[in-house]
Amino acid sequence: MTRTPYDPSGEGAQMSFDGRMSYGDYLRLDTILTAQAPLSDAHDEMLFIVQHQASEIWMRLVIHELTSVCDHIAKDDLAPSFKMLARVSRILDQLNSAWDVLRTMTPSEYTTFRKALGMSSGFQSFQYRAIEFLAGNKNAAMMRPHAHKADIHAWLERILQAPSIYDQSIRLLARQGFPIDQSILTRDCSQAYEANESVRAAWLVIYSDPEAHWSLYELAEKLVDFEDYFRRWRFNHVTTVERIIGFKSGTGGTSGVNYLRKMLDVVLFPELWAVRTDL
C-alpha cells in the first residue's frame, strides 16, 4: 500500500510566500547566513567564525537586557529587572557552553588559519566592552580600539559616563533610606567602582533580615547570580585560550592568557561578596 506523503497545507499551513513575509525574511537569514566568510581554506575557521558571531548575537541581547535593568532600577520598578537579570544569567550560561564547542579545535587546527586573523582579537569586541561598562568595570583606556568608528565610540562613551547597574542599585538603597555616603552617590560614574563601607553596611542589614527587605534582597541575589555566571564566562575564556594557544601573545597584541587572567581578578559588586563573610 502506497502511503500518501504528508502535506501540511492540508492542515492550513502557508506554503506560498510570494509577496508575503516568511520565516527567513523576518530573521533576515539572507544577511546572517552569508556573514561567514573564511579567509583561508582551513576547515576549522568556519567553527571559529560561527562561535564568535553567535556569541556577539547573544551579547546583543545581554546589552538590551542590562540597559533595561538600569532603567527599571532607576525608576524603583524592581520586578521586571529581576526577570531580566535572570535572563542575562541564562544567556551567559549559553555563552559558557559555546566555549565547549570551540574547545573541540586543537592547537594544530588553529594554527592553520591564525595568520588570517591579522590583528583582530576578541578584546576589541565593542559589545563585550559595553557589557563590562554596564556591569561597572569602567576603563576609558579600553575605548581606544574603537576610536576609528565614531558612532560606536560615541555609544560606548555614553555607557561609560552613565551609572552602571550597581551604581543604580546603590542609589536605590539611598532612596530606600539606607545611609549611603554622599561621595558614592555623586561619584564620577566613568570611573571603576571601589568598595565602600556604607554600602557594605546597607547590604548587611538587608541580608540579616531578608523578609523585611525582600525586594532589595532579591535584587542582591540576582546581581550575584549575574556576576557568578560572568566570572565563569571569563574563566572558560581563559581556559579555552590556554588550551588552544598556550601562553602565546594574542592576535591583537595582548599578552594572551596573562591578559585574560587579569580579568579574573575584577570584582563587580564587592560588597555583595564581602557581606557573606560578615553574616
Q: Is 49 known to sit in a ligand binding site? A: yes
Rounded Cα distance, 135 and 148, in Å:
24
Angle, to 10 degrees, between the axis of helix 197-208 and the axis of helix 165-175? Answer: 70
Q: Is 6 known to sit in a ligand binding site? A: no
CA angle 16, 22, 24 (to 5 degrees): 130
At 249 the three-state DSSP class reads: coil
Q: Is 269 known to sit in a ligand binding site? A: no
Rounded Cα distance, 164 and 137, in Å:
9
Q: Is the distance from CB of 174 to CB of 180 less than 8 angstroms?
A: yes
Q: What is the DSSP letter of 250?
A: P
Rounded Cα distance, 151 and 93, in Å:
30
Q: Is 207 known to sit in a ligand binding site? A: no
Q: Is 238 known to sit in a ligand binding site? A: no
The alpha carbons of the chain give a radius of gyration, in whole angstroms, of: 23
H helices present in 75-125, as ranges: 78-102, 107-111
Q: Is 50 known to sit in a ligand binding site? A: yes
55, three cell numbers: 556569541
State CA 186 to chain mean position distance.
26
Question: Is 180 buried (19+), middle (13-18) or exposed (0-12) by CB count in 10 A?
Answer: buried
Q: Is 87 known to sit in a ligand binding site? A: no
Q: Is 186 known to sit in a ligand binding site? A: no
Q: Is 266 known to sit in a ligand binding site? A: no
Q: Which amino acids are annotated as binding site for heme, given as ranges?
A: 237
Q: Which amino acids are annotated as binding site for substrate, given as ranges?
A: 48-52, 110, 114, 251
Q: Which amino acids are annotated as binding site, given as ranges?
A: 48-52, 110, 114, 237, 251
